[in-house]
């Protein structure tokens, strides 16, 4: 197997995907299907959230079953600020409301990160099933707390009928601008994550995932690194929540429901745990199926579209059994196997022997 | 108890319910020496290692590392203060390459890991130190091999390299020969012999040839108690050791150099 060629093919595949995302609004508008821009925006926002979960789930080995809580909290920061901006009352008698996107996105990250710090500090004293259950329990507590808030319409949530405002000519009401903002944030996050997981911090985190006792015996205080990852993941999820409110126009406790946390886990597993591109691929796959499969199935058998998850279930099982690194792993395999044969960009010098193929170990 | 002990245990006691695993164990390791701990199965050796590293909380007693009381510190803190260990059952990061296993050990010793940007696997300083430690244990040519794909004896060496690269004050070697074939055991013995004098080691080992050829001092544990401690010759002659641990004359350690 030629590693350089594999890397080249991988770069080409992912470069092609990024290129597709960059021109997607143009394609959608050309096709007169503006809907796809807002749909793609939501996919990319969920990709942000799933990628943040991947930091602790994929690279930290910590199965948090309450990650939607941080998305929801970020969303509520925007929603609550909007309510108070509308009626002019201060939040908790202290802070003014507002609709400034830059302030709100930063505040959403700060509040979600802070909540993650408190919850993480408690949950990270447990491992395995206990960790799954306690993260779920905290998320459910927050869910019911928000349901109980009558000031913010309890279960019905807040209709945020005005998007957050950006300085200058920038406007989140413009679907294309909103799309590129989210795409930019996602690409920046993925680049940052790529650096992070390869850094000393990331290596300590991965070492703790692979063999925590050994990592501690070497001198890593694993709790500190895991908590830091948990807080970073919570903050990014908060950012995704704040964006999601702007995309959907409302925020409600349903944002924090445990099934939403489950969706995020499915995205990460489907796309590939511990891979940079995986959660994005998983978000696109899951939301794509949710969006298009019902129609497709209805066309085959009228009224059966509601049961689209009958396709999702077996697909997940196949992925878990046969493709441990999910869709990203499938792409890796395709790049490695040379499924895409590319012409050499630089012709071989005459007299240079053809590179020998190394056999697989 | 001498003043230059790098590791000192005083009165270490561990009870599991009614069972006393370790009963007031005193022990010290001096700079540059190999101190072996031997004893039949169930003598409390594993518990002792756990207490020294901090994985097992002692019911009573204290542990000092280079004069500092570390009894209340976590395994990670003790490791950062210079207590390295190898494990009885091979314990490496199987998915990391041999080099990266050693580099991550060096990283753990190099202070905190709150560095979020520069790629760790291209850290020239860590890699150079890791390559040096790998060369010392004779694994230089296998640096890129995934640790999980190494042979058993190579993994044991890798563990020693992971300890070496941390430039520890003292290394606890928990049965480094366990599960090795005769050739591998001879290689490991030679390796530990080379390291002798440069590094303080506490050696827990069943291989009596290794123990009696390497150790400067030996402590004999039986049923959680120290029944004898001293130079190898004294231990060999101690009737209490013969009776309690070594049993009959024909199993006497090193008597004929036979195993």
Residue range(s) defining the domain that contains residue B104: 93-167
Residues B67, B10 within the same domain:
yes
Q: Cβ distance A29 to A351 under 8 Å?
A: no
In the predicted model, is pLDDT for residue A342 greater than 90? no
Over residues B218-239, the pLDDT tens digits come to 999 998 999 999 999 999 899 9
Residues B253, B226 within the same domain:
yes
From chain B, the residues in CB contact with A227 under 8 A are: none
Q: Among residues 52-81 of chain B, which lie with CB inside 8 Å of chain A?
A: 53, 55, 74-77, 79-80
Q: What is the pLDDT of residue A349?
A: 53
B186 CA to centre of own chain: 18
Q: What is the pLDDT of residue B245?
A: 64
From chain B, the residues in CB contact with A195 under 8 A are: 116-117, 119
Question: Mean of the pLDDT values across residues B175-202?
Answer: 91
Is B135 contained in some domain? Answer: yes
In the predicted model, is pLDDT for residue A354 greater than 80? no
Pairing of strands B225-230, B68-69: unpaired
When pLDDT is cut at 50, 70 and 90, the band that residue A23 belongs to is: very high
Which of B167, B196, B230 corresponds to the end of one domain? B167
Among B99, B86, B97, B96, residue whose Cα is nearest residue B177:
B86
Does residue A307 or residue A238 have the better pLDDT? A238
Residue contacts between A and B (CB atoms, under 8 Å) = 92
Residue B23: CB partners within 8 Å, gap ≥ 6?
A: B13, B224, B225
Q: What is the pLDDT of residue B170?
A: 96
Which of B167, B198, B225 corresponds to the end of one domain? B167
For chain A, which residues lie within 8 Å of any Cβ of chain B, measuring from their own Cβ? 195-196, 198-204, 207, 210-211, 213-222, 225, 228, 361
Contact A201 B107 (CB under 8 A): no
Does residue A356 or residue A172 have the better pLDDT? A172
Residues B76, B179 within the same domain:
yes
Is B221 contained in some domain? Answer: yes
Among B203, B199, B236, B219, residue whose Cα is nearest residue B30:
B199
Q: What is the pLDDT of residue A119?
A: 98
In the predicted model, is pLDDT for residue B111 greater than 70? yes
Is A71 contained in some domain? Answer: yes
Which of B167, B183, B201 corresponds to the end of one domain? B167
Is B87 contained in some domain? Answer: no
Q: What is the pLDDT of residue A1?
A: 53
Question: Mean of the pLDDT values across residues A202-211?
Answer: 97
| Domain at A125, CATH number | 1.10.3470
Q: What is the pLDDT of residue A347?
A: 47
Q: Closest to A203 (Cβ–Cβ): which among B91, B104, B166?
A: B104
Q: What is the pLDDT of residue A361?
A: 41
When pLDDT is cut at 50, 70 and 90, the band that residue B247 belongs to is: low
Alpha helix positions (H), chain A = 3-30, 35-54, 68-87, 101-123, 128-147, 175-198, 200-210, 212-218, 222-248, 258-271, 278-300, 309-322, 326-337
Provide ipTM, 2 decimals: 0.90
Residue with tokens 């990628």: A51
Question: Mean of the pLDDT values across residues A188-192?
Answer: 98
Is A351 contained in some domain? Answer: no
Is A60 contained in some domain? Answer: yes
| CA atoms of B173 and B163, how far apart (whole Å) | 9
Q: Which of A226-240, A268-282, A285-299 has the lowest mean pLDDT?
A: A285-299
Residue A125, min C-alpha distance to chain B (Å): 14
Question: Mean of the pLDDT values across residues B197-224?
Answer: 92
Residues B58, B186 within the same domain:
yes
Kindly state the helix (H) or strand (E) to which residue B46 belongs, with its residue range.
Answer: helix B45-53
Residues B188, B254 within the same domain:
yes
Residue B54: CB partners within 8 Å, gap ≥ 6?
A: B63, B70, B73, B74, B75, B77, B78
Q: Cβ distance B9 to B26 under 8 Å?
A: yes
Q: What is the pLDDT of residue A319?
A: 85
In the predicted model, is pLDDT for residue B255 greater than 50? no
Characterize B126-160 residue by residue with b for buried, 16 or more Cβ atoms within 10 angstroms of its Cβ, and e for exposed: bbebbbebbebbebeebbebbbeebeebbbbbbbb
Residue A99, min C-alpha distance to chain B (Å): 32
Pairing of strands B19-30, B34-38: unpaired
| Pick among A60, A214, A217 to test the B interface (most B CBs inside 10 A) | A217
Q: Into how many domains does chain B fold?
A: 2
Residue with tokens 């990852």: A229
Is B154 contained in some domain? Answer: yes
| Domain at B229, CATH number | 3.40.50.300
Q: Closest to A217 (Cβ–Cβ): which among B79, B121, B123?
A: B79
Is A353 contained in some domain? Answer: no
Q: What is the pLDDT of residue B78?
A: 96
From chain A, the residues in CB contact with B77 under 8 A are: 219, 221
Contact A200 B75 (CB under 8 A): no
Residues B213, B175 within the same domain:
yes
Residue A194, min C-alpha distance to chain B (Å): 9
In the predicted model, is pLDDT for residue B90 greater than 90? no
In the predicted model, is pLDDT for residue B259 greater than 80? no
Does residue A350 or residue B85 have the better pLDDT? B85
From chain B, the residues in CB contact with A204 under 8 A are: 104, 107-108, 113
Among A46, A57, A17, A16, residue whose Cα is nearest residue A291:
A46
Residue with tokens 């597709």: A20
C-alpha angle with apex A176: A174 to A181, nearest 5 degrees? 95
Residue range(s) defining the domain that contains residue A211: 9-337
Residues B123, B251 within the same domain:
no
Of chain A, the percentage scoring pLDDT greater than 90 comes to: 78
Over residues A95-124, the pLDDT tens digits come to 999 999 999 999 999 999 999 999 999 999
Is A342 contained in some domain? Answer: no
Contact B105 A221 (CB under 8 A): no
Residue with tokens 């501690």: A216
In the predicted model, is pLDDT for residue A84 greater than 70? yes
When pLDDT is cut at 50, 70 and 90, the band that residue A263 belongs to is: very high
Is B88 contained in some domain? Answer: no
Pairing of strands B200-204, B170-174: parallel
Residues B196, B70 within the same domain:
yes
Is B24 contained in some domain? Answer: yes
Q: Into how many domains does chain A fold?
A: 1
Question: Mean of the pLDDT values across residues B148-171?
Answer: 95
Does residue B246 or residue A141 have the better pLDDT? A141
Mean of pLDDT over chain A: 92
Helix (H, G, I), strand (E, B) or coil at B146: strand
| Pick among B81, B116, B127, B155 to test the A interface (most A CBs inside 10 A) | B116
């Amino acid at each position: 197997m030629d590693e350089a060629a594999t890397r080249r093919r991988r770069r080409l595949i992912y470069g092609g995907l990024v290129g597709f995302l960059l021109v997607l609004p143009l394609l959608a508008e050309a096709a007169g299907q503006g809907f796809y821009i807002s749909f793609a925006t939501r996919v990319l926002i969920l990709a942000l959230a799933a990628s943040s979960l991947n930091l602790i789930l994929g690279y930290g080995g910590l199965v948090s079953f309450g990650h939607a809580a941080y998305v929801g909290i970020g969303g509520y920061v925007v929603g609550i600020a909007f309510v108070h901006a509308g009626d002019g009352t201060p939040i908790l008698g202290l802070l003014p409301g507002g609709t400034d996107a830059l302030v709100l996105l930063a505040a959403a990250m700060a509040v979600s990160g802070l909540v993650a710090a408190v919850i993480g500090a408690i949950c990270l004293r447990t491992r395995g099933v206990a960790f799954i259950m306690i993260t779920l329990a905290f998320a459910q507590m927050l869910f019911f707390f928000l349901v109980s808030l009558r000031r913010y319409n309890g279960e019905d949530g807040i209709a945020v009928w005005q998007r957050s405002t950006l300085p200058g000519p920038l406007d989140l009401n413009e679907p294309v601008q909103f799309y590129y903002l989210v795409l930019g944030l996602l690409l920046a996050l993925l680049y940052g994550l790529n650096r992070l997981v390869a850094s000393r911090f990331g290596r300590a985190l991965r070492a703790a995932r692979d063999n925590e006792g050994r990592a501690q015996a070497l001198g890593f205080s694993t709790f500190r690194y895991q908590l830091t990852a948990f807080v970073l993941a919570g903050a990014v999820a908060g950012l995704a929540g704040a964006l999601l409110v702007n995309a959907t126009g409302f925020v409600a406790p349903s944002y924090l429901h445990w099934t939403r946390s489950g969706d995020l886990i499915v995205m990460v597993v489907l796309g590939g745990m511990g891979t940079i591109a995986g959660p994005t691929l998983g978000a696109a796959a899951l939301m794509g199926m949710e969006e298009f499969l019902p129609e497709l199935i209805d066309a085959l058998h009228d009224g059966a579209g509601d049961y689209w998850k009958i396709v999702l279930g077996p697909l997940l099982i196949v992925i878990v059994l046969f493709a441990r690194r999910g869709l990203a792993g499938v792409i890796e395999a395709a790049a490695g196997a040379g499924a895409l044969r590319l012409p050499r960009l630089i012709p071989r010098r005459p007299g240079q022997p053809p590179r020998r193929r190394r056999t697989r170990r | 108890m001498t003043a230059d002990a790098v590791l000192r245990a005083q009165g270490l006691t561990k009870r599991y319910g009614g069972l006393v695993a370790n009963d007031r164990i005193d022990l010290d390791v001096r700079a540059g020496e190999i101190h072996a701990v031997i004893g039949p199965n169930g003598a409390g050796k594993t518990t002792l290692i756990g207490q020294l590293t901090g994985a097992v909380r002692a019911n009573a007693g204290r542990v000092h590392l280079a004069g500092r009381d570390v009894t209340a510190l976590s395994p990670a803190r003790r490791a950062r203060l210079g207590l390295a260990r190898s494990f009885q059952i091979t314990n490496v990061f199987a998915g990391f390459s041999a080099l990266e296993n050693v580099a991550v050990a060096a990283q753990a010793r190099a202070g905190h890991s709150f560095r979020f940007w520069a790629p760790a696997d291209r850290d020239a300083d860590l890699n150079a130190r890791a390559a040096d430690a790998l060369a010392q244990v004779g694994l230089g040519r296998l640096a890129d091999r995934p640790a999980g794909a190494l042979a058993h004896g190579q993994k044991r060496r890798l563990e020693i390299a992971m300890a070496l690269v941390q430039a520890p004050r003292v290394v606890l070697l928990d049965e480094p020969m366990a599960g090795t074939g005769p050739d591998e055991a001879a290689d490991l013995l030679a390796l530990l012999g080379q390291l002798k004098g440069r590094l303080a080691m506490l050696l827990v080992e069943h291989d009596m040839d290794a123990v009696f050829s390497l150790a400067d001092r030996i402590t004999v544990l039986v049923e959680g108690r120290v029944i004898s401690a001293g130079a190898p010759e004294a231990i060999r002659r101690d009737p209490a050791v013969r009776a309690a641990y070594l049993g009959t004359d024909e199993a006497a350690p090193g008597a004929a150099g036979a195993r």
